[in-house]
Structures are given as structure tokens and as C-alpha cells.
């Protein structure tokens, strides 16, 4: 037995001096603290960012359903755990998305302040727009009549075109007499309780109605739609906490004899990880260079195609049947997403 033994700095148990790792706890024996070591330990401890992540990321992108299938087979140390993969990529996504949210928040706040106009200003603008409207219609009529022999239009057809309400309108919002009354109350320094009462709120109304009035007046005063959007985004991670299990449950309904609910949950973790990866790319690239809507749409469409291929490979059914199930699955799940979005949007409005 060797007498050249040292004690582990972590667990304080003895081991032979030549060991590179402690045989008791696994810590590296010569683990000098540097910036690199500190960064690696932080990432690996909280997100398990190690060799398994690199081995898992490429199959996640280019082999739909592969990681989930391998995990179910029992290869649970070779690749990153599905929940850890989901956690890490979702954090990256919300970090990337935060830059876009900041811009959108400022843009919405400025936009809504310019959209709402006072009623008297609207009346002045309305008169000016009518004058401009009449001049533009005269020019359109003259242009059509001068080319009448070429475009083969009758006088009746020209009259109908000129009378169409197709000329540009000022994109402002006016709430009529209600807005006039509300503006006058705010300008006169009326307390919020007085405004609520003038707007129809009664003392015996419930908490929900009072809260709705409170948030409505708060929004009208500040025109801070961007803050509502920011609160909406902050609520999304909580919503996803419920949507992912629902996603797995719906898959269970479509594949009742293809494993337990935990199998479908593994598949869902990896699929949501892919979706977050695609969304991170979309928002990250668009933040640097604004691409057209169609490019974003085609990238988003890849999520459907990926799901189709992943379901086919993971559950082992034919291409046609897998496509039919993917289509019906999307028709079932998308309304749930939309209802959830409406719910968290209302929640964001009531609590921003």
C-alpha cells in the first residue's frame, strides 16, 4: 500500500498522490482557481454545459426525434438531460429576446402617445383632411378622364372610382364625447376616485371591476402599451411551464399505446428546446439585420416540419399517418396557445 497519500480539498478523504481526480467525490486534484475554471464551474453547475451539451446540440438541430429516442433507450449520461437542455436553451432565448423587447417597449410607448389625440385637435385635422381629400379626388378625376380613350372607362366607372373611400386617412384614435369628458377630468386634476365615479364605477362594484377601471385609467393617462407588452413577455415563462405538460398530454392522446406519459414528456422537452433555438436565431438575426416577413415565416415553418419528422421517427409510424397526426395535433394545440396568449395578455394588463 502506498504511503504517499494526500487529503482531498473537497471531501478531505485520503487518496494516492498520483490521482488526477479524487476517487471519493470526483473533484479534480489540481484544480487551481482561474477565471476559466470559475466560468466553467458556474455554467456546468447551473446548466450542465459540458461535453454532453455539444454532443446533444447537433442532433437536436438536425436529427428530429433522435435524442428523445436515445434517452428512452437508456442512454441518459451520453446526452444532456432533456430538462437541462430545455432550461439552458430557454434562458438563452429570453436573453436574446430581451433586446427586442426593450426596443418594442419604447416603440409602443411612443407610438400610443402619438395615436391618441384630443377631440378638438381631431376636429381641426378633420377639416384639413377633407380639403386635401377633395383636391386629391379632383386630380384623380382629371387623370382618369385624360386617359379615358386608352383605359376604355365610361364616365360612370370614373365617377364610381373617384367616390370610393380609398384615400389615406389619419391614423389617430378618437373616443368621441367619452374622451372629451375624460380629458377634461384629467386636466382639471380630478382624483382617480372621482374619475372612476364619473366613468360609471359604483361603490358596491366588485374588486375585479374596480381593478379594471384602475388599470384602464392608468393606461389612458400614460399611454404605456409597451409596459403591458413587457409584462406580457415576463409572464410567458410561467405560461410555458403549463403549456409543455399540456403539449405532452395531447401527444399521449394521439399515441395512447406508445409509452407512458413520461416518454411523451421527454419528447416535448427536446422539441421545445428546438423551438427555442429557432426563435433565438430569428430574433438574434433580426436584431442585427431586419429580414423580410417571409424569411421569418419559412424559419418558423421549420418547427412544423421538424415536429412531423420527429413524431415519425420517435413513434415509428408511417409518413402519411404521421403527417395527418401532426396536422391534427397542430390544430388542437394552436388554439390552446392562442387562448393562453389572450389570458396572459389580460393578466399583463391587470398587473403591469
Would residue 52 count as lying in a domain? no
Cell of 130: 377633407
The total number of structural domains that make up the chain = 4
Residue 132 and residue 168 in one domain? yes
Residue 90 and residue 152 in one domain? no
pLDDT in tens, 196-233: 877 777 878 888 888 888 888 888 777 777 788 888 88
Cell of 214: 384602475
Residue 197 and residue 336 in one domain? no
Alpha carbon of 87 to those of 49, 82, 242, 272: distances in Å?
A: 11, 9, 14, 10
Range of the domain at 291: 57-110+226-351
Cell of 352: 403591469
Q: How many other CB atoms sit within 10 Å of the CB of residue 166?
A: 9
End-to-end CA distance of the chain: 68
Residues with Cβ < 8 Å from 44, sequence gap 6 or more? 50
Would residue 217 count as lying in a domain? yes
The reported pLDDT for the residue numbered 1 is 44
Backbone angles phi, psi at 191, to 5 degrees: -60, 155
Q: Which residues of the chain have pLDDT under 70?
A: 1-3, 31-51, 111-180, 290-293, 295-296
Its sign, for the CA torsion 202, 205, 208, 209, is negative
Residue 164 and residue 181 in one domain? no
Would residue 299 count as lying in a domain? yes
Q: Residue 255's closest CA among 58, 82, 72, 57?
A: 72
- Residues 278, 300 contacting (CB under 8 angstroms): yes
Long-range CB contacts (within 8 A, 24+) of 212-216: 212/350, 215/349, 215/350, 215/352
The reported pLDDT for the residue numbered 305 is 93
Q: What is the pTM of this model?
A: 0.67
The reported pLDDT for the residue numbered 243 is 92
Residue 152 and residue 300 in one domain? no
Angle (CA) 307-311-313 rounded to 5° is 120
Would residue 320 count as lying in a domain? yes
Question: Rounded to whole angstroms, how far apart are CA atoms 71 and 75?
Answer: 5
The reported pLDDT for the residue numbered 144 is 52
The reported pLDDT for the residue numbered 74 is 83
Its sign, for the CA torsion 281, 285, 286, 291, is negative
Helix axes 261-288, 51-62, angle to 10 degrees: 90
Residue 102 and residue 122 in one domain? no
Residue 252 and residue 289 in one domain? yes
Residue 232 and residue 213 in one domain? no
Residue 304 and residue 179 in one domain? no
The reported pLDDT for the residue numbered 244 is 92
- Residues 199, 182 contacting (CB under 8 angstroms): yes
pLDDT in tens, 45-92: 555 555 677 788 899 999 999 999 998 888 877 888 888 889 888 888
Question: Rounded to whole angstroms, how far apart are CA atoms 78 and 141?
Answer: 75
Residue 10 and residue 158 in one domain? no
Residue 311 and residue 230 in one domain? yes
Long-range CB contacts (within 8 A, 24+) of 245-253: 246/333, 246/336, 247/271, 247/272, 247/333, 250/329, 250/332, 250/333, 251/311, 251/329
- Residues 12, 51 contacting (CB under 8 angstroms): no
Would residue 272 count as lying in a domain? yes
Alpha carbon of 172 to those of 46, 108, 217: distances in Å?
A: 49, 14, 19
The reported pLDDT for the residue numbered 45 is 57
Residue 278 and residue 324 in one domain? yes
Amino acid at each position: 500500500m502506498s504511503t504517499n497519500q494526500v487529503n482531498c480539498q473537497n471531501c478531505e478523504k485520503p487518496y494516492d498522490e498520483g490521482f488526477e481526480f479524487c476517487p471519493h467525490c470526483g473533484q479534480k486534484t489540481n484544480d487551481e482557481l482561474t477565471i476559466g475554471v470559475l466560468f466553467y464551474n458556474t455554467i456546468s453547475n447551473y446548466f450542465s454545459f459540458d461535453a454532453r451539451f455539444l454532443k446533444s446540440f447537433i442532433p437536436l438541430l438536425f436529427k428530429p426525434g433522435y435524442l428523445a429516442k436515445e434517452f428512452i433507450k437508456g442512454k441518459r449520461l451520453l446526452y444532456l438531460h432533456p430538462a437541462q437542455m430545455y432550461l439552458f436553451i430557454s434562458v438563452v432565448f429570453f436573453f436574446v429576446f430581451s433586446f427586442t423587447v426593450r426596443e418594442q417597449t419604447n416603440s409602443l410607448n411612443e407610438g400610443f402617445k402619438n395615436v391618441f389625440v384630443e377631440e378638438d385637435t381631431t376636429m381641426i385635422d378633420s377639416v384639413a383632411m377633407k380639403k386635401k381629400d377633395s383636391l386629391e379626388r379632383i386630380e384623380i378625376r382629371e387623370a382618369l378622364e385624360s386617359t379615358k380613350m386608352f383605359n376604355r372607362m365610361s364616365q360612370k366607372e370614373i365617377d364610381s372610382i373617384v367616390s370610393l373611400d380609398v384615400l389615406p386617412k389619419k391614423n389617430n384614435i378618437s373616443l368621441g364625447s367619452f374622451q372629451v369628458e375624460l380629458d377634461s377630468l384629467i386636466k382639471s386634476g380630478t382624483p382617480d376616485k372621482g374619475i372612476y365615479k364619473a366613468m360609471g364605477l359604483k361603490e358596491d362594484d366588485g374588486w375585479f371591476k374596480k381593478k379594471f377601471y384602475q388599470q384602464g385609467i392608468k393606461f389612458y393617462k400614460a399611454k404605456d402599451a409597451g409596459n403591458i407588452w413587457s409584462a406580457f413577455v415576463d409572464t410567458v415563462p410561467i405560461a410555458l411551464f403549463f403549456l409543455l405538460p399540456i403539449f405532452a398530454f395531447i401527444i399521449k392522446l394521439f399515441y395512447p399505446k406508445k409509452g407512458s406519459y413520461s416518454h411523451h414528456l421527454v419528447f416535448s422537452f427536446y422539441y421545445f428546446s428546438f423551438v427555442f433555438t429557432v426563435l433565438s436565431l430569428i430574433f438574434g438575426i433580426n436584431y442585427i439585420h431586419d429580414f423580410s416577413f417571409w424569411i421569418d415565416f419559412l424559419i418558423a415553418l421549420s418547427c412544423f416540419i421538424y415536429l412531423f419528422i420527429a413524431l415519425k421517427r420517435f413513434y415509428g409510424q408511417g409518413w402519411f399517418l404521421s403527417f395527418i397526426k401532426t396536422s391534427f395535433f397542430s390544430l388542437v394545440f394552436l388554439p390552446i396557445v392562442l387562448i393562453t396568449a389572450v389570458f396572459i395578455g389580460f393578466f399583463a394588463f391587470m398587473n403591469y
